[in-house]
């Protein structure tokens, strides 16, 4: 088993060996907080890492005396998941995502393995690892729900205070394979396809989501779905344009798509858009941004602890994404895990 050593700052290296004989190191290990910062060097088209480098001196001066600051750069997609799992098993105090919603999403997925929460090797004191976030992505939509300003210094202050609050996590299961977790918004059909295209245009900042949506409309067909809420009866929804399962309020770089969702509500807000045409999207875009679209014809909102979504006539081509990451195609079931992770708020 790996043991914490004195490390005021270093890269998170699972193969680390530890000097247990160093009394200073041993004492420090038990009183200092171990914080692992998972940094996505490609976030926000490369600006995440530039902002992170600028932030580091402040982070060291603000936290360095009381915390071991471990920096871990991701080497590619999904690496953040492995880093997080390893850090939790080592019993660190917090794993902090530095980047956008995609990085946060991967860190959240690292809190689980094989359908269960990951826990520390050392279980005896009921210790849990908290989730933290320094929002430095393109959209950074999750942070908006919590009302966080786009200021990494504020994020450092939150981490310094270390106050924890339980947040709900969504779990997505398909016909096969591992369950998948999300913290922000999962969505189906047009918006999911738009997110898939938007990832190609991140260099345009938040405009990438609008470009992605317009591209997604080309060749788009609204589809008839059936949904089952809280294990009730199947209900038909005709000509669905998009179905969004919100654990938080915003997606697509500031669209307030599920305006009544909150990650401590213990349920989802499900918003369903039906029979939208591309020009409806243009005409009603401002309502999507300010969250007033629920009063628009063909937009409905439901509360759910779980929701199953299927096509009435299966094409196997209906996109699903969660937290802006492409996840495959329908059918899927979305279930809330109330208070599943403690977050530094």
Q: Which range in 101-109, 189-197, 256-264, 311-319 contacts ligand ATP by CB under 6 A? A: 101-109
Give 254 or 291: the residue with its C-beta nearer to ligand ATP.
254
Q: Does 331 bind ligand ATP (CB under 6 A)?
A: no
- The correct pick among 4, 32, 42, 189 for binding ligand ATP (CB under 6 A) is 42
- The correct pick among 158, 267, 325, 337 for binding ligand ATP (CB under 6 A) is 325
Tokens 């309020």 belong to 249
Least distance (Å) between residue 6 CB and ligand ATP: 28
Structural tokens at position 336: 């809330």
**Residue 6: Cβ-neighbour burial (10 angstroms; 0-12, 13-18, 19+):** middle
Could you give the CA distance from residue 261 to residue 329 in angstroms, rounded to a whole number? 24
Coil, strand or helix at 205: coil
What are the phi and psi torsion angles at 20 (to 5°)?
Answer: -70, -15
- The correct pick among 12, 40, 186, 246 for binding ligand ATP (CB under 6 A) is 40
Could you give the CA distance from residue 96 to residue 323 in angstroms, rounded to a whole number? 17
Least distance (Å) between residue 56 CB and ligand ATP: 18
Structural tokens at position 108: 């959240």
Q: Which range in 42-50, 222-230, 277-285, 329-337 contacts ligand ATP by CB under 6 A? A: 42-50
Could you give the CA distance from residue 142 to residue 213 in angstroms, rounded to a whole number? 20
- The correct pick among 68, 72, 84, 103 for binding ligand ATP (CB under 6 A) is 103
Number of residues that bind ligand ATP (CB under 6 A): 22
Give 94 or 240: the residue with its C-beta nearer to ligand ATP.
94
What are the phi and psi torsion angles at 200 (to 5°)?
Answer: -80, -15
Could you give the CA distance from residue 60 to residue 82 in angstroms, rounded to a whole number? 25
Give 146 or 307: the residue with its C-beta nearer to ligand ATP.
146
Q: Which range in 131-139, 160-168, 259-267, 270-278 contacts ligand ATP by CB under 6 A? A: 131-139
Q: Does 72 bind ligand ATP (CB under 6 A)?
A: no
Among all residues, whose Cβ is closest to ligand ATP?
Answer: 100
Least distance (Å) between residue 71 CB and ligand ATP: 14
Print the binding letters for residues 137-156 with ligand ATP: x by CB under 6 A, - otherwise: xxxx----------------
Least distance (Å) between residue 43 CB and ligand ATP: 3
Q: Does 189 bind ligand ATP (CB under 6 A)?
A: no
Least distance (Å) between residue 320 CB and ligand ATP: 15
**Residue 105: Cβ-neighbour burial (10 angstroms; 0-12, 13-18, 19+):** buried
Could you give the CA distance from residue 71 to residue 57 in angstroms, rounded to a whole number? 13
- The correct pick among 23, 30, 76, 295 for binding ligand ATP (CB under 6 A) is 76
Q: For residues 298 and 330, is the Cβ–Cβ distance under 8 A? A: no
Q: Which range in 75-83, 164-172, 279-287, 329-337 contacts ligand ATP by CB under 6 A? A: 75-83
Structural tokens at position 139: 């959209």
Q: Which helix H or strand E contains 48, and what residues bound it?
A: helix 47-63
Catalytic residue among 93, 101, 141, 267: 101
Q: Is 101 a catalytic residue?
A: yes
Q: Where are the beta strands (DSSP E) in the chain?
A: 9-11, 33-39, 67-73, 94-99, 112-113, 116-117, 130-135, 164-173, 180-182, 185-189, 223-229, 234-246, 268-274, 299-304, 306-311, 319-322, 325-329, 332-344
Site residues for ligand ATP per CB under 6 A? 40-44, 74-77, 99-103, 106, 137-140, 202, 324-325
Residues labelled as active-site residues: 101
């Amino acid at each position: 088993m790996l043991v914490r050593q004195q490390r005021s700052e270093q890269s998170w290296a699972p193969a680390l060996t530890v000097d247990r004989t160093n009394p200073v190191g041993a004492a420090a290990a038990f009183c200092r907080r171990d914080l692992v910062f998972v940094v996505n060097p490609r976030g926000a088209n490369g600006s995440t890492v530039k902002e992170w480098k600028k932030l580091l001196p402040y982070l060291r001066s603000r936290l360095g005396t009381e915390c071991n600051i471990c920096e871990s750069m991701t080497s590619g997609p999904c690496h953040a998941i492995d880093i997080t799992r390893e850090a939790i098993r080592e019993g660190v105090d917090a794993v902090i995502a530095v980047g956008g919603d995609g990085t946060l999403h991967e860190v959240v997925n690292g809190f689980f393995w094989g359908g269960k929460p990951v826990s520390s090797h050392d279980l005896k004191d009921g210790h849990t690892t908290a989730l933290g976030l320094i929002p430095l992505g393109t959209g950074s939509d999750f942070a908006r729900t919590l009302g966080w300003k786009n200021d990494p210094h504020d994020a450092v202050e939150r981490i310094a205070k270390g106050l924890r609050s339980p947040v709900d996590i969504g779990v997505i299961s398909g016909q096969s394979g591992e369950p998948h977790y999300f913290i922000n918004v999962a969505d189906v059909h047009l918006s999911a396809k738009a997110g898939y295209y938007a990832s190609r245009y991140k260099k345009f900042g938040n405009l990438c989501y609008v470009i992605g949506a317009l591209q997604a409309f080309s060749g788009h067909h609204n589809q008839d779905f059936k949904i089952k809420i809280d294990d009730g009866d199947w209900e038909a929804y005709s000509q669905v344009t998009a179905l969004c399962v919100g654990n938080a309020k915003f997606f697509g770089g500031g669209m307030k798509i599920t305006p009544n969702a909150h990650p401590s509500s213990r349920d989802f807000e499900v918003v369903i858009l039906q029979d939208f045409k591309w020009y409806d999207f243009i005409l009603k875009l401002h309502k999507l941004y300010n969250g007033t679209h629920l009063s628009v014809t063909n937009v409905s909102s439901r509360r759910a602890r779980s929701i199953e979504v299927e096509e009435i006539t299966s094409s196997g081509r209906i996109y699903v994404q969660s937290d802006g990451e492409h996840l495959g195609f329908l059918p899927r079931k979305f279930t809330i895990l109330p208070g599943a992770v403690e977050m530094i708020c």
